[in-house]
């Protein structure tokens, strides 16, 4: 997100996290958090294969609550961030060939995982993967579901069961254009989920 007025309206809704994309190749790219965020909402910076010192610097400058790693960051990379007391959300590109055992080695250093759809881009592909694949996830790190989630998926999400499933990550399906959220659409979706 980029526009303070749009962010302000979003933060009035019942959300837990808000993401800012620090990946220069993204249409949603920002170089800093553009406005104050209420303390009850976790500021999350999204990075893709970024220089680790730059991630640490941006995290401190913007008082990020979490960094979300959406590239091919390895375990050592996560370990170094954790040693700096940085909370980590690690995204995994998921398809029929994904080996969920890969996540085991990350558990000691990551607070959450995100399972997103494998596509040509690092996220933002607007595509779903088969959620039944998550039956193969046996780890103890809680996860967020991502990938092509749309307003009409509320019932399917309510029906989805997994003991480590704690939330959803929404993006392009709720945008007017990149980095600009459709607030009324998100509000209706949240209300539907919480019914």
**Interval 36-49: pLDDT, tens:** 999 999 999 999 99
Q: What is the pLDDT of residue 4?
A: 97
pTM of the model: 0.94
- Pairing relation of β-strands 180-181 and 175-177? antiparallel
* % the chain with pLDDT above 90: 92
pLDDT band at 100 (very low <50, low <70, confident <90, very high): very high
Token pair belonging to 47? 């990075």
Rounded average pLDDT over 23-35? 95
Tally the residues of the chain: 195
- pLDDT confidence of residue 151: 94
Mean pLDDT, all residues of the chain: 94
Q: Calculate mean pLDDT across residues 149-157.
A: 95
Is residue 127 very low, low, confident or very high in pLDDT (cuts 50, 70, 90)? confident
pLDDT confidence of residue 64: 98
Distance CA 87, CA 110 (A): 7
Strand 112-117 and strand 143-145: pairing?
Answer: parallel
Question: In CATH, what class is 4-194?
Answer: alpha beta
Distance in angstroms (rounded) separating the CA atoms of residues 119 and 126: 9
pLDDT of residue 118: 82
Mean pLDDT of 113-141: 85
How confident is the model at residue 119, as a pLDDT? 67
């Amino acid at each position: 997100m980029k526009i303070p007025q749009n962010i302000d309206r979003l933060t009035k809704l019942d959300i837990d996290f808000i993401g800012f994309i620090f990946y220069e190749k993204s249409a949603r790219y920002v170089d800093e958090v553009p406005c104050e965020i209420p303390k009850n909402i976790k500021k999350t910076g999204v990075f893709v294969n970024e220089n680790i010192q730059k991630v640490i610097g941006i995290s401190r400058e913007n008082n990020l609550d979490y960094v979300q790693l959406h590239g091919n960051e390895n375990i050592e990379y996560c370990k170094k961030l954790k040693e700096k007391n940085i909370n980590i959300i690690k995204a995994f590109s998921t398809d029929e060939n994904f080996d969920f055992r890969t996540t085991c080695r990350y558990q000691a250093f990551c607070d959450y995982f995100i399972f997103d759809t494998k596509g040509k881009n690092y996220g933002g592909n607007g595509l779903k993967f088969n959620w039944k694949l998550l039956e193969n996830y046996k780890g103890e790190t809680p996860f967020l579901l991502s990938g092509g989630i749309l307003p009409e998926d509320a019932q399917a999400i309510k029906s989805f069961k997994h003991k480590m499933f704690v939330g959803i990550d929404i993006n392009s399906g709720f945008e007017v254009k990149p980095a600009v959220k459709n607030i009324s659409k998100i509000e209706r979706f949240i209300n539907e989920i919480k019914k």
